[in-house]
Amino acid sequence: MDATYKRSLILLAAVLVAAAVCFYTNTVFPDALAEETAAAAEEFGVDEALVRGVIFAESGYDTDAVSRAGASGPMQLMPSTREWVSKVTGIAADGTAMSEVRLGTAYLAYLLRRFGGVETALAAYNAGPANVERWLREGEEPYPETAAYVKRVLFARRVYARVF
């Protein structure tokens, strides 16, 4: 094998690896909603990696996502929650990505203040504050789905904190 051919193969391999890394990074860690997430995290004093983790777990960054339960948007807010947060904060629930991320982040900030801890706030985001209050009051374990959700968000948060 001559030197030129060998260099060409090495260059081709490097290009393929770079393309794979770019594809993986943009698929698993999308830059979508980056501006919205950064702005909302700063506005409401919430860790940006945590907000990104919630979006990843809730919708996989699909701004048009709708759950079976009726939650929608990148942060999967229920209509009643969206309406309440909009009323309390004055943020228009106009369906734009920016308003959805702001509303979801404002709600997350509220839950962090209310429950005083990330894990309980995430459990409340997933299962509702009333369920978390009952679990705490009665010493019950969260729903298995909620426990898995909290772990998924915390894992994504750690990854996002390293990547971004």
* Catalytic residue ranges: 58
Cα angle 88, 120, 99; round to 5: 35
Task: Return the residue matching tokens 């948060």.
Answer: 157
Q: At what angle do helices 97-115 and 118-127 cross, to 10 degrees?
A: 120
Residue in 1, 126, 115 with CA at minimum distance from that of residue 54: 126
Cα→Cα distances 152→24, 54, 84, 97, 159, Å: 19, 9, 26, 23, 11
Three-class secondary structure of residue 77 per DSSP: strand
Q: Report the run of H or E that residue 163 belongs to, with start and end.
A: helix 144-163
